[in-house]
Amino acid sequence: MKMLNLLVIIIFLFNFNVSNAKDRNLNSKITKNLRCLICQGQSIHDSDTEFANSLKLVVEKKITEGMSENEIYEFLKTKYGEWILYDPALNQKTYILWLLPLLLFLIGGAIIFKNLKIKKN
């Protein structure tokens, strides 16, 4: 019986740690993708300003409230706009940003392909 109790406690503790670690991972993942609006060039995760510290608390609170990563981004976007996200969504303003590398990759691939074909001939 004593062993069983011990086992239950151990299992409980381990599970507790896992869920806690998950939250922390999600927390740092989200805060790393948020731009500190005062100390630009730094993420909320790296920054230690009053604003960043408060925002970290808010993110933590929203995670414990059960909000998903995207819901938290949406929430912050309504408050501060797209600018707060380091990873911008694909839309009218950002399509060049997203599609240009792909386009360049395809053009480069086409050039290489063509050159190889010429060499073969």
Residues that bind other proteins (CB under 8 A): 37-38, 40, 50-51, 53-55, 57-58, 61, 78-81, 83
**Smallest distance from the beta carbon of 57 to other proteins, in angstroms?**
5
**Smallest distance from the beta carbon of 96 to other proteins, in angstroms?**
9
> Measured from the CB atom, is 21 or 57 closer to other proteins?
57
Polymer length in residues for the chain: 121
Q: DSSP secondary-structure letter at 42?
A: S
**Smallest distance from the beta carbon of 14 to other proteins, in angstroms?**
31
Burial level of 30, CB count in 10 A (0-12/13-18/19+)? buried
> Measured from the CB atom, is 6 or 93 closer to other proteins?
93
Contact assessment for residue 107 and residue 115, using Cβ atoms and an 8 Å cutoff:
no
In angstroms, the CA 72 to CA 79 distance is 11
> Measured from the CB atom, is 1 or 111 closer to other proteins?
111
